[in-house]
Each structure stands twice: as C-alpha cells, then as structure tokens.
Homo-oligomer: A and B are copies of this chain.
Amino acid sequence: MNVEILAVGTELLLGNTVNTDAADLSDRLAALGLNVFWHTVVGDNPGRLSDAVSIARARADIIITTGGLGPTYDDLTKNVLADCFGKKLVFHEEEADFLRRFYERRGRPMTENVLQQAWLPEGCQVFHNDWGTAPGCAFEAEGVHVVMLPGPPYECLPMFDHCAVPYLRLLSGETLVSRQIHVFGLGESDIEARFREEMEHMANPSLATYAKEGEVMLRVTAKAPTEAEAAALCEPVVEKVRKALGSYVYSVDIDSLEALVLKLLKEKQLTFAAAESLTGGLIGARFTALSGASAVFRGGAVTYCDEVKAGMLGIDAGLIAEKHAVSREVAAAMAQGVRKAAGADLGVSATGIAGPDTDESGQPVGTVFVGLAAADGVWVRHLTLGSRGRDRIRTISASNAFDMLRRYLTDLPVTEE
C-alpha cells in the first residue's frame, strides 16, 4: 500500500518550520512495510489543500495529514478533508470535556476557539491527544484511508505510535525489513563506486547509499511475507558490505556514533569526559541527548578562551603561548587535563578554527585537532576540513571525537597516522 504524507501549514512554506514530521513518520511507515511515495506541503489555504487532496487520493492508498487541527482560525485540515470525502463534522462531547479540564487544571481561562478542536469527521476513529490538546483521527472513504495527526512533533509522533500504528498494521500485507550500515571516514562516491554495479541490479533486497554530515549510511531493504524471511534476505548483503568496508563500518542498526559509544562504555563500565573548544559543548550536548548518558559521561569543560583552558584543566599557559591553542600539543593536553579533572577513564578534546575567519595563528579555517587520552596513551587527529561552514566543521569534529572513542573501545587503531 502506498502512502502520501500531506503536511498543512503556511509556516512550512515560509521556511519558519522544517517538516521533520514527514521524515520521522516516513521512517516509522517503512518499518510497517508501507511505501511512502510522496510528501506534499500546502499552506493554510482551503482551495490549494482541496486540490492537493484530489491529487493524493488518485495516487495513494493512505493519506496521512499533519497539522491544521488546532484551535486557530487557519486550522482548516478537518474541514477541508471532511468536505473532500463528503463527511460532516460531528461535535465530540468527551473531547470537549477533556479540553475544559485541560485548561481548568492549568488554571488558565479557556478561550472559545479551543472547542473547535472537538469537531471531528463523522464515523471516524478518534485519536485522543495525551500530549497536547487537538485530537487526531482516522477514517476510510471511497477506498482511501485518511489519518489526521497534529503538527507539533511532540504530539504528532507519539499519537502516530500509540494510535495510528494499530490502525495501519491491519492494512499492510507484507513486511519490510531494513538494515542500516553506518560508515565513518569514507566518502559516498568511493563507496558507491565499489557497489554500483550490484546496486543497479538488486531489487529485493535493495541497497542504497545516503550521505549525511560527514558520514555515509547504506540501507539494505528486503520485503517478504514474514519478518524472519525479510531479515534472512538482508543478511548476506549486510555481511558483504561489512567485509568490503572493514573498520570504517562502525555499526549496523545503531544509528549514531554517540549511541554506539554509549553502548560500548556501558559494556566496559568506563566513563569519559570532554574538553571542548571549537565544538563549544556540542560533544556533550549530542551525548547527553541520549537517555542513560549519565551512567558513563562525567561532564567536562568548555574552554572557549585560553584562561579557562589553563584554569579548569590545569594546562600550562606557557604551552598554549608556545604552541598556540589550535595545535596537536594543546589538544593532547586538553584530553589529558579533562580526564584528570573530571575523574574519568577517558578524555576527549577538540580545538580548531570553525570560521568564518581564521585566528591570530593564521592557520586555515577548518584546521582542527581532536584528542583522546586514556591510561595507556594519548592520540590526536589532525583534520583539515576546509571552508565547509561553521556547522559542518563543528559537527564533523565532534563525530571524530566519538569515532576515536569507538575505535579505542573496540581495540582498533585510534588514528591512521
């Protein structure tokens, strides 16, 4: 069965909001064996929304809308969809009650527009919103299934998982299994050139490459009547790719370097700390976005000026003056310093020039040193990332710190030098 995700919201067309819902729902729909073939975004405009629904119903079996269910005057999704499929909106007293209680509990007066959310298409299955206020719903009409979800991701995604998944599971016949092979340190063209010929001829399973933020992901996808059969189809391809790419493959199905590092540190009961200059807290922020991080992450220092490097990490000010803050020696001293200061088993560090301008050392933008210190040694990677933009330079630097950790923790050489 084919799916179209139809997002409704002028804020998306003005670029104020990124359509993350479409990506997050697509990922979940693939796991259900449902093919997402189209994403569409239209504004809060009844005419254009109605046209988009006409196009969608002609090509998709399932239309999932996001957005436009709220209390404001431009929340039109229910009205337009009900109209397109010849359904009336019906007032749901129990949803209205929930809304009244919601405001009462918060001690806030309920404006009249709030109750607009309790009107839903006749005969629909109501998706009660435990994460916000606007309910969603699902109905079938003229051979098309319509699922309506709120726009904010923290409402849309849990409602999908808890309410829409049970509804959709009944519709999907085949099972699709995807395995994701994550690679750090090789470029997409290099990888694709190795597998190109096979990729062109493979249908089930299929193999595709995706580049993102300095990494490459290969996805092996197979379809079969059962999950076990689909998984068995994937296996030989996964093994072949693993063998071909060796230690550049950092994981299968663990979707980030930091998630792998968290798993490895927990297994080995080791801790780490970070000393961050150019990344400014990004290593810590990425790692602590994972729940369970506190078991292995001690914290660290954000050393955005030389005095803090000296003060918090005990780095010799003379060393900084002599070698410069962006240097192999200072990266090593930062990793060793934070390891000691935070009482961690391992210390990582990142210092460099994120741009747009170089600093007084005159080294080019994109010059970065990433360090790792352990009881048995200290390693530093020297990266030359060029003018790829501040965000990318910082992201790739943080990823290198995690890559050094995972290599150390799996007994691989930490640096290539």
Binding site for B on A (CB under 8 A): 7, 10-20, 22-30, 36-43, 45, 48, 51-52, 55, 59, 70-74, 108, 111, 113-114, 152, 154, 178, 188-190, 192-193, 196, 199-200, 208-212, 217, 219, 273-274, 276-285, 287-289, 291, 293-294, 297-305, 307-308, 311-312, 341-343, 354-356, 388-392, 394
Contacts and interface: CB of A to CB of B under 8 A. Distances in A.
A28 B40 contact: no
Q: How many copies does the complex hold?
A: 2
A141 to B, nearest CB: 22
Contact of A196 (B13, B52, B72): B72
A301 B342 CA distance: 10
19 contacts: A7-B39, A12-B39, A13-B36, A13-B39, A15-B36, A37-B48, A40-B41, A72-B209, A74-B208, A113-B193, A152-B211, A154-B388, A274-B281, A280-B288, A280-B289, A281-B302, A284-B285, A291-B356, A307-B342
A301 B301 contact: yes
B18 A192 contact: no
Given A13-B36, A24-B15, A72-B196, A302 B274 contact: yes
Given A284-B281, A390-B289, A27 B37 contact: no
Contacts of A278: 288
A40 B391 CA distance: 27
B210 A394 contact: no
Contact of A73 (B43, B200, B341): B200
Contacts of A190: 108
A10 B23 CA distance: 11
Contacts of A43: 37
Nearest to A194: B111
Contact of A293 (B23, B293, B304): B304
A211 to B, nearest CB: 7
Contacts of A152: 211
Contacts of A208: 10-11, 74
A35 to B, nearest CB: 8
Query: Which 5 pairs of residues, A with B, have the shortest CB-CB distance?
Result: A280-B288, A281-B284, A15-B27, A281-B281, A15-B26
Given A289-B390, A355-B291, A20 B17 contact: no
A293 B212 CA distance: 26
Contacts of A71: 189, 192
Contacts of A354: 288, 291
